[in-house]
Structure 1
């Protein structure tokens, strides 16, 4: 059973799908910590309801990224966390955490990377009048959504799509794909570090 921490900044719908897979024993994991950088995020209520330990911080209260990542790292190591699962965490992971968890940080992104990295990937796809977008699960490196791709699945964009309608279809894929890919990775004896 892998001990994981989930990093999230918002609603936590991918957090919820991973928790459901854990509860059904589809994923052999123990979620040991939620790391959140937004005190108003709904994901905090989700975690509280499940009794999951939380570390919530305000980045502005720290001198720099290194300072708050050192505190996060203390929490991760204290909980014996083996893997970091990013689920809508809206910050780049810095060297402090990357050094300790290299090859063991996984992210999900709402586009077919390398297309539309960074914030507002769904809006970027619509603005570009793309015919398709999708979902990418990838390892995290120092770049913005640049780590090795683990899995991708495409989502067609229709002419009448809005951000909301496209987001809903993308999330359906995310909530199925992310837990299934994590299951595959954690079933392997050694996770391929790309």
Structure 2
């Protein structure tokens, strides 16, 4: 994915829990603007991708905190220290509480379904089990309710006969990458309006 141009002050953070393919798309597109990557799994390859790219990593072990709010408060403190104007959930598997969400101008997320269908975990597997013929990708603003924030972009992806979770994810990932990169650019271009909070 070609590098894009954002102003130097357009700094954003990424939260990730897995392999980090969405993170890589953002690294490739906006290498000068990705300020920090946060994560909740020490073994997540996403964190290794960030380290290899020279991007600071903030790993927090959930087991060291008494509840979600305490964890989110510490994570927010660490991420906010990098002066970011946007946080991007890119395969981050923890539900963010208002303690975190209220600290930043906007938090966006990518989800492998056509929301509001199949919110939450295992969206691809659930779509297959339901016999859907079409699924897709949604980029949306994050709110306290899981996968319920205003939609920024959606794109359909056909489910083919014989598809498995793995084969369908292989076709969904490029769409996720493209929509997420575009959403970050549109946010910093002033084309997106975050939901009001508080």
Shorter-chain TM-score bucket reads over 0.9
In the TM superposition, 1:1-194 aligns within 5 A as 1=7, 2-23=10-31, 30-101=33-104, 104-188=106-190, 191-194=192-195
Q: In the aligned structure 1, how far is the partner of 2:159 from the partner of 2:93?
A: 24
- Asked whether the 8 Å contact 2:186–2:192 carries over to 1, the reply is no
My pick for the range that moved more, 43-52 or 71-80, is: 71-80
Moved over 6 A (4+): none
- List runs of 5+ in structure 1 lacking aligned partners: 24-28
Give the distance between the partners of 2:73 and 2:119, measured in 1 at CA: 26
Q: 1:19-71 deviations in whole A, cap 9, x for unaligned?
A: 10114xxxxx6111111000110011100101111111111111111111111
Which protein has the bigger helix share? Answer: 1
**How far off is 1:72 after superposition?**
1.0
What is the RMSD of the two structures over their aligned residues, measured on CA atoms? 1.3
2:102 aligns to what SS in structure 1? helix
Residue deviations 1:67-101, cap 9 Å, x none?
11111121122111211000000011101112222
- How many angstroms does 1:134 deviate by? 0.2
CA contact 2:38–2:79 (8 Å) conserved in 1:
no
Are the equivalent residues in 1 in contact too, given 2:134–2:158 (CA < 8 A)? yes
2:4 aligns with none
TM-score, normalising length from structure 1?
0.92
Residue number in structure 2 paired with 1:26: none
TM-score (norm 2): 0.91
The 8 Å contact of residues 36 and 56 in structure 2, kept in 1 or not, is answered as yes
